Amino acid sequence: MSAVAEHHVGKALRRKEDPRLITGRARYVDDIALPGMLWAAFVRSPEAHAKIVSVDASAAKARPGVHAVFTIDDMTDLTGPLPMAWVPPGITVNNPEHWPLAKGTVRFVGDPVAVVIGEDRYAVVDAAEDVVVEYDPLPVVTDPEEALKAETHVLHQDIGSNQTHEWSLGGGDLDAGFAEADVVVEHRVVNHRTAGAPIEPRGVLADYRAGSLTMWTATQVPHFVRLFTALLLGMSEEKVRVIAPEVGGGFGAKLQMTGEELLCAWASRKLGWPVKWIATRTEDMATTHQGRDQIAYCKMGLKRDGSITAFHVKIIADFGAYNMLLTPTIPALGAFVMSGVYKMPALQTDIVGVFTNKCPTDAIRGAGRPEATHMIELMMDQAADELGMDPLEIRRKNFIPKEDFPAELPIGVVYDSGDYEKSLDKLLEHVDVAAFRKEQAELRSKGIYRGIGFSTYTEICGLAPTRVVGPEGFGNQAGFWESSMVRVHNTGAVTAYTGASPHGQGHETSFAQIVADRLGVDPAVVEVMHGDTGVGPEGRNTYGSRSLAVGGESLAKCAVKIADKAKAIVAHHLEASPEDIEVSGDKFSVKGSPDKGMTLAEVAGAAYLNQVPDGMEPGLEATTFWEPENFVFPFGAHAAIVDLDPDTGKVKLIRYVAVDDCGNAINPLLIDGQVHGGVVHAIGQALYERVHYDDDGQLVTGTFVDYALPTAAELPPIETDRTVTPSPVNSLGVKGVGEAGTIAASAAVTNAVTDALRPLGVSYINMPLSPMRIWEAINEAKGASPEGGANA
Amino acid sequence: MSGPVPVHVEVNGTEHTLEVEPRLLLVHALRENLGLTGTHVGCDTSNCGACTVHLDGRAVKSCTVLAVQADGAKVTTIEGIGTEDDLHPLQEAFWNDHALQCGYCTPGMIMAAAGILADNPNPTEEEVRHGLEGNLCRCTGYHNIVKAVLDAAKTKGPEVAA
């Protein structure tokens, strides 16, 4: 593609979407009301595992304003259960039926049993409490390792065990690698269960009338929701329109086709009125798919000089009660980058998926890759400790050198570009490690335990080349291109449609910057439309840090199509050759004669008056479907500094420095924002957040009182810097950045806490790094251990 | 359950008389009875602060106030402190500093920040961080929110108070 003069790309423009958001004028799902709208409230299981003996809805139905109470027995016209979209060639994945309402058995606390539909938001909740459900409890299993052994606690009797699948991914000679090793370091790395917890809970409004269905839903994936809703309701796809209005955060938690969405659509068709459901926070915490929950047995072999000879990881992945849309694929995403930024001659990841009596898991920000980085980066520190090396020295020793890019790894993926030394060097411009060590020693003599931890990471994003991840490759039943459509109006104003579906990322601004440079207009006159299946082409939506690297590139290519047509029209009017026309400032002008040209408005006028060259269609509009040849691999180096109080076990984060490389910057303001939020998401996991079920399968962290999201008060400023190593995979040279911070940060924080703990005799500890766990670890090390400890 | 009761309330300078169930939350009265949907609900335990409004000049969580408790009071919501053509200094600072992403916590965050600055027109960073403890944001890591509140305080000083 010809070079594009960048006037707007690269600038830290403030966002076009903000005026409506800062004035309370945006419209989220719960802000939409329709005449005659009914409300849905779910009757949910208080039992973690039980047979449903009976459901008595008579009292609920007798309440004023209640239109109906439904169970799964009423939903006989669904064409099938909720979808799971992974059919990997050659591997059996046990996929139990999962219905919008439980069929005979409940398998986690919050599993929906019935739904009440009525006229008033409060009254349906009262009525739901009047539905009497009799349960016959079954044995409960919440520990995935126990669940694998259990014969009496099987969740899905038709499958006969709690195992979903086994899968192995690797390359190189593992046995030879370990045989060659001078030391072997082993740890059981626990990555506990967390919640995505967007501040807007899930919600949906469905309106079926005259054979057509319109749904507004808090989703990242409106096109997927349309497809599955149409299929499951037996409707023709063109009769279903799904709109993701303003969406209050996703973090993967809204990458789903949920039973509640399907149920509201079904109920609206059944009853002839619009039906709305908005989750309460408690409901959202109990039933929105959760993330992580992996136990990994990690084993790393190294030579005495610190070079890695082999890395073997066995992941036990807790999937909860059912497979959701992508559940069993999540640990595999981590396996693709299990060698991180390091040369690993032999590598193997074995994955076992397990059902337990807990809420299902699926993609949450990073999806498999935060877990992988956490394992790798903890193991690098442990190996350094074992070998008596500096943790940064061992990293540099194993970095894939920049001259190796594009770097094909033994596992088969090809890293597009990287310069890991450069990002670490940049980090060390901000963090003076020698000065830190001196300060650390001084503080320690005063009883203050300060620690520093690092994480040098890469990740795989920009999903994705379909040949790799689609039906013929990894087995996802979709293509992963992205669409775009650019329409220049009569006046030269531009509407740009993207199949990506943002929920806070700022596409209306960054995508407008991309289009503006290619068409010689100001981003202010480029309106980016998204999230509505009723306008624009079919789309593949937003997840896996793909929007810019796939959707942005698609839109850039679409804008170039328009520019090419505009050049032909300008050449026709100015009696020049199209090859001699260029975008210069706010005009399409003749090269070397910047005064001689036409603005986009003038071109559009000509295009719509059919003053175009012979044989050319009138109008100024184009559509593009584009798919990358490869993933993109952002990378970086992060450092955390913490203070630890050995008497209470409390950790205070003192500094966090993130150096990231996401290729070329479209809008640096938005990149920094993504890094800030991504990093804090993982700091939250490392220090505060934990979805915890007790042994009876009761969720004990079901509100924001006991599920501790970080607040402003716990955090220092997040210091950010960048290096720029363009990706060769797209013409923009960009990589994704939405998940990078989350993928990097938990390891940096955990390594920092471990660094602070070492003089207290603790050399390894698993998250969450709660005061209690740390205090127990310190006491265990002293030999005065109470029950439990760091490896619990 | 008792029947509807009247509530007289002034919201953003306009007086209203509502007939409400005694258990109706102020946030639902604002959103559903008056159509002021800028105030959001993000939790059910008064932790997230997305519903923050001003009740007689003080920042409160409107999910924890009954509509009947606002009887005779003045309420200011996000819609009442500034418009797209005439932004409040905090709205301007949030925009300039990229202090929002999905925007869901933003109205409550701005109303809470206005409350902080009303009490303390020149807060330190530490004071802003502690002042915002009752408002959760999942997108921004708070970095730019804290910056925006400090910037609003710097540019406008005591005038910031709503």
Model confidence at A42, pLDDT cuts 50, 70, 90, reads very high
How far is it, in rounded angstroms, from Cα A232 to Cα A79?
A: 5
Contact A200 B104 (CB under 8 A): yes
**CB A598 within 8 Å of CB A565:** no
Residue environment code for A306-323, b if the CB has 16+ CB neighbours within 10 A, otherwise e: bbbbbbbbbbbbbbbbbb
For A360-419, what is each residue's pLDDT tens digit?
Answer: 999 999 999 999 999 999 999 999 999 999 999 999 999 999 999 999 998 889 999 999
> So what's the ipTM on this one?
0.97
What local confidence, expressed as pLDDT, does residue A3 receive?
A: 62
Whether pLDDT at A790 is above 50: no
φ, ψ of residue A21 in degrees (nearest 5): -80, -35
- Mean per-residue pLDDT, A274-296: 98
Q: How far is it, in rounded angstroms, from Cα A201 to Cα A280?
A: 7
Of the candidates A25, A199, A679, the beta carbon closest to that of B38 is on A25
CB neighbour burial string for A410-422, b if at least 16 within 10 angstroms, e if fewer: bbebebbbbbbbb
- Give the B window 84-103 contacts with A, CB below 8 Å: 84, 87, 91, 94-96, 98, 100-103
Q: What does the H/E/C string look like for A429-454? A: HHCCHHHHHHHHHHHHHCCCEEEEEE
Give A63's contacts (C-beta < 8 A, 6+ positions apart): A118, A123, A126, A127, A130
Give the pLDDT confidence of A317-373 residue by residue, as tens digits: 999 999 999 999 999 999 999 999 999 999 999 999 999 999 999 999 999 999 999
A791: pLDDT strictly greater than 90? no
| Contacting residues of A for B132, CB less than 8 Å apart | 711-713
Nearest of A774, A476, A416 to residue A628 by alpha carbon? A416
List the one residue out of A566, A534, A540, A565 whose CA is nearest residue A553: A540
The whole-angstrom distance between B29's CA and the closest CA on chain A is 12
In this complex, do B36 and A122 lie within 8 Å of one another by their Cβ atoms?
no
Q: Which residue of chain B is at minimal alpha-carbon distance from A27? A: B37
d(CA A584, CA A594): 7
Q: A350 has which bridge partners?
A: A168, A314
Partners of A121 on chain B (C-beta within 8 Å) are 28, 32
| B76: enclosing H helix or E strand | strand B74-76
What average pLDDT does the segment A778-789 reach?
A: 70
Among residues A204, A219, A209, the alpha carbon closest in space to that of A532 is found at A219
Tokens found for residue A161? 């065990």
- Give the count of beta carbons closer than 10 Å to the beta carbon of residue A764: 19
Rounded to an integer, the average pLDDT of A603-616 is: 98
B111 touches chain A (CB under 8 A): no
Q: Which residues of chain A make contact with B139, given a CB cutoff of 8 A? A: 249, 504, 673, 677
Work out the percent of chain A whose per-residue pLDDT is above 70: 98
Kindly tell me if the per-residue pLDDT of B160 is higher than 50: no
Region A569-583: what's the mean pLDDT?
A: 96
pLDDT of residue B1: 55
Instruction: List pLDDT tens digits, range A187-210.
Output: 999 999 999 999 999 999 999 999
Contact between residue A148 and residue A354 where contact means Cβ atoms under 8 Å apart: yes
Whether this model's pTM surpasses 0.90? yes
- Residues in chain A with CB shorter than 8 Å from the CB of B141 are 676-681, 715, 718
Could you tell me what percent of chain B has a pLDDT over 70? 95
Rounded mean pLDDT, A613-635: 98
Angle at A219 between CA A215 and CA A225, to 5 degrees: 55
- Does B4 lie at the interface with A, CB-CB under 8 angstroms? no
Mean pLDDT over the full length of chain A: 96
Question: What are the start-end ranges of the H helices in A23-167?
Answer: 58-62, 121-129, 144-149
The verdict on a CB contact (< 8 Å) between B78 and A24 is yes
